[in-house]
Structure formats: structure tokens, C-alpha cells
Amino acid sequence: MTLKTQSIHETENLTTDVDNTEIISSTTPSPHLSYRYAFMLVLKRDLTIAMRHKDDIINPLLFFVIVITLFPLGIGPEAQTLSRIAPGIIWVAALLATLLSLDRLFKSDHLDGSLEQMLLSPHPVFILVLAKIFAHWLITGLPLILIAPLLAVLIHLDENSYSALMLTLLLGTPVLSLLGAIGVALTVGIKKGGVLLSLLVLPLYIPVLIFATSAIDTAALGLPYSGQLAIIAALFFGSLTLAPLAVGAALKVSTN
Amino acid sequence: MKTLSNNSTLPLLSAVKLTCIREERLLFDELSVEINAGDIVQVEGPNGSGKTSLLRILSGLSQPYDGQVQYNGQAIHRCREEFHQNLLYLGHLAGVKGEMSAEENLDFNLALHGNKTQQSLTYLTKVNLSGFEDSLASHLSAGQHRRIALARLYQSNAPIWILDEPFTAIDKQGVASLEKLFSAHAKRGGCVILTTHQDLISIKPEQVKKITLDYSYDSAFD
């Protein structure tokens, strides 16, 4: 009755009631175990879910648009005042819009048990987490980048600053998703972790905010802003390589 | 992929002196269990006695307060990928996404664990979900969610099945076919570790090993 696993590789024809003809084998690697496959699998799933649950895409984008359009109404239409504060407005709005959308990154997966299944899959958690964060950026970060130049016109952003705005957003919003994911992973097991999440994540966002707005301001003066951009790029690559590890560890603690 | 140093005396999965403390209460202490290929193990105990905690520790989702779990004689955190490739764990949450159809859910769960997805329709038929493959899971019932999760069992090549309350929300016929599946799995050299409050009907009591958890006391095989 008790068959050892070794004998299973040798015996080829074990009879089974179910028509699963494959013999259990603990050593044969499956064909579907490449990193790329795992990444694409999770990415496709998260994007499918987002497309069917459009709130995920529309909410942060709408928030971003509303905040930015309200500023000219509140401050007044003087071009000079607006263009002075435009970089700050756009970046603060982008930061808060990302913060607003972070909660969904792992929450629903945690609630329905699919997070457990991901942690138990033979794929490295690093890859799965990276795919989820990339999907999150595609859903929230990318639409912000696409709409930002239109809104920048509304608040009279200096015309020299547009390329700086786009570049900082392109490098900076992935950092927001990556760092935010650490906070979400830490608070996912807590019932009301919303406030805690903001407290954890906002201090980490401050360097991105400072350097991004500084780059845009410098560009408005017609000076080179490659220094600030390099620092944001360093933040991006640093968080790209380290954040998924931290997220994986945090998720293991949260599901413990 | 390295071959397993699987000498035949090693059990498939073994728990060595596990101690679990939850909410400052000792759930079990120095629990040692060896689970061999071909075993069907039923974890018993009243609510809150630590059945789920034990299964989560065995699957590596939770850390024990003390002791370790070994797969083929190796601590599971040292051979995570290999162990997970040989493990199928179904918790009491089904892990089914409401936004995806039954088939998409099953496909994803199969692929995530490195299984083939070509025949997922056949497996959905086996769990009586034919005709529902394209309905979004949010339109299906709790029992049907459970069935989507359980459909993975039909395709699984993993020898170790750890199932937390697999019969919840499943009708009588479903329970009978699951039991048949479990004994077939044990026969072909797998092991099944499950918790359930019902007695297994078609599997004879002598085929089932039992771990009884009782919160004041040590637990052991009977």
C-alpha cells in the first residue's frame, strides 16, 4: 500500500480510478516553469481583472484630473502663480492618486485566497510580485503619464518643462508603485490598514517628489536637469531590484 | 533539477516536534508526524483546536513557534521550489477571482503551479461545472467556487495534497467522487492530508490515519 516516491518513477503503469494517466513524479520539472512564463501569466491575469473591473483604472485617473482642475478654480487664473506651482500640483496629485490605488494591489487577492496560492507556487515570489507591480503601474501610472501633459496646459506649466515632466513621471511613477507595494504587503493582513499604509508609504515618496519637482523647475529656467533625473533613475533601479524582495518577505509575514 | 536523495526510509513529509502558539494559547506542542506515500491523514479536533494552523504550517505558509517540517528529509524552507512543485494546498478560501470565468480561474491556477492547461474543460466537467465554464465566477455560488478550486486535483501531479475542509459547501455526490479521487491518489503513491468534520464514507477507517488535536494535550497518531 505505501509506495515510496522512488518506486513511483520506476513503476510506469500504476492503475488509477481517475483517468489521470500521468504518474506522480517528484523530480520531473514541468515545461511551464520559466520566469518569463510566470511573469506573463500573472501580468495577463491582473490586466484581465482590471479591464473587467474598470473602477481600478478610472478612479485614480479621475482623482488626478479632478485635483488638478480644481487648483485654477481655487487659486485664480493668473498664469504666473499657476505656472510657479504647476510642477508641485501635478506631482502631488500623481502621488496621491497612486496612494489611493495601492490598496487593491494585494488586498483582493488576500481576501479570496489567491495570494496564498501564489506564495505556494513553485515560481519565485520575486517574479510574481514584480508582475503584479508592473500590472499596477500599467493600470494606474501609465494613464497618469498620458493625461499629464493635457492637464499641464490647464495650469500653465512652463513650456520648457514638458519634457522634464514626462521624463520624471516616466521614471518616478514606477518608483511610487514599487515602494507602495512594500507598504501594502506589510498592511495587507490588517483589517483597517489604510491610515497605516499612508503613514508607511508617504515618507518613502518624499525623495521622488522633491527631485521630480526640482527637475521640472530647473527645466523651466532652461538649465540642465540631468542630475535630478539621474537620482530618480537611481531610485527606480534600486527599488526595481530590491522592492520585490521586500514585498515577498512582507507578504510571507502578512499571511503567516 | 537535482534528483532527490530519496532513500526509501524517508517519509514524504514529516513534522518534527512542531509547536504552535496562537493568541498566547498553546495549540499543540512537540507534534511529530511522519506522512508516507499512500497515506490518507485526517486531522481531527474541535473548532479552534489548530487544524488549519497545522495544515498551514505543513504547507509552509505559516511558521511554527518551534520545530520544523521536512520534505524528503529536508527542511521545507531549504527546498522551497521543489517542495512547492510537489505540493497542492487548498485552504478554506477558494482562491477564485470573481472577475474571471470558471475556466480562466482554473487555467490560471493550473499554470501558476506548473501544470498543463489544455484539458481544463474536461476537469470542469468532472466537478459538474460544464456549462458554467464561461460564466464569471462572481455569478457562481460558494460551492461552485470550491469546485473550481477542487478541479485542480484532477490534473495535479503533486504527490502531497493538503486540503483544508475540502468538503465544505460540496453536495453528497461531490463528496463521494472526491473520496474516490483521494483513494486513487493514495494508491498511485500520493498522500492526502485533510481536515473535515464529517466521517469519510467510502474510504475505510483502517486506511485513514488520524491526527487528533486537542488543545490542552499532546497529539499523536492513533
User: How confident is the model at residue B121, as a pLDDT?
Assistant: 84
Q: B103 and B66: one domain?
A: no
β B74-75/B66-71 pair status:
antiparallel
Q: B50 and B142: one domain?
A: no
Pairwise CB contact (< 8 Å): A256 & B62: yes
Residue B4 within any structural domain of the chain: no
Q: How far apart are CA A248 and CA B113, in angstroms?
A: 17
Q: B165 and B116: one domain?
A: no
Q: B166 and B187: one domain?
A: yes
User: How confident is the model at residue A94, as a pLDDT?
Assistant: 95
Residue B145's domain comprises 94-157
> Strand, coil or helix: what is B123?
helix
What lies within 8 Å, CB to CB, of A195 at 6+ separation is none
- Per the structure, the count of domains in chain B is 2
Q: B141 and B197: one domain?
A: no
A25 touches chain B (CB under 8 A): yes
Q: How far apart are CA A42 and CA A125, in angstroms?
A: 11
Residue B112: list chain A partners with CB under 8 A: 38, 41-42, 117-118, 121, 123
Q: How far apart are CA B61 and CA A116, in angstroms?
A: 7
User: How confident is the model at residue A141, as a pLDDT?
Assistant: 93
Interface A-B, measured as beta-carbon pairs within 8 A, has a size of 159
Residue B3 within any structural domain of the chain: no
Q: How far apart are CA A247 and CA A253, in angstroms?
A: 10
pLDDT mean across residues, chain B: 83
Residue B122 within any structural domain of the chain: yes
Pairwise CB contact (< 8 Å): B187 & A114: no
Residue B62: list chain A partners with CB under 8 A: 255-256
Pairwise CB contact (< 8 Å): A17 & B6: no
- pLDDT bucket at B8, cuts 50 / 70 / 90: low
User: How confident is the model at residue A224, as a pLDDT?
Assistant: 94
What lies within 8 Å, CB to CB, of B88 at 6+ separation is B113, B152, B153, B156, B158, B160, B161, B162
Residue B2 within any structural domain of the chain: no
User: How confident is the model at residue A127, as a pLDDT?
Assistant: 94
Express each pLDDT in B84-113 by its tens digit. Answer: 988 999 988 888 988 899 889 999 988 888
Q: B24 and B74: one domain?
A: yes
The parts of chain A modelled with pLDDT lower than 50 are 1-23, 25-28
Express each pLDDT in B124-172 by its tens digit. Answer: 888 888 888 888 888 988 888 888 988 888 888 889 999 998 888 888 8
Pairwise CB contact (< 8 Å): A112 & B95: yes
Express each pLDDT in B32-82 by its tens digit. Answer: 888 888 889 998 888 888 888 889 999 988 888 888 898 888 888 888 888
A74 touches chain B (CB under 8 A): no
DSSP string, A188-229: TTSTT-HHHHHHHHHHHHHHHHHHHHHHHHHHHTT---HHHH
Residue B94: list chain A partners with CB under 8 A: 112-113
Residue B64 within any structural domain of the chain: yes
Q: B101 and B76: one domain?
A: no
Residue B176 within any structural domain of the chain: yes
Residue B81 within any structural domain of the chain: yes
Q: B17 and B118: one domain?
A: no
Q: B137 and B198: one domain?
A: no
Q: How far apart are CA B122 and CA B35, in angstroms?
A: 31
Pairwise CB contact (< 8 Å): A256 & B63: yes
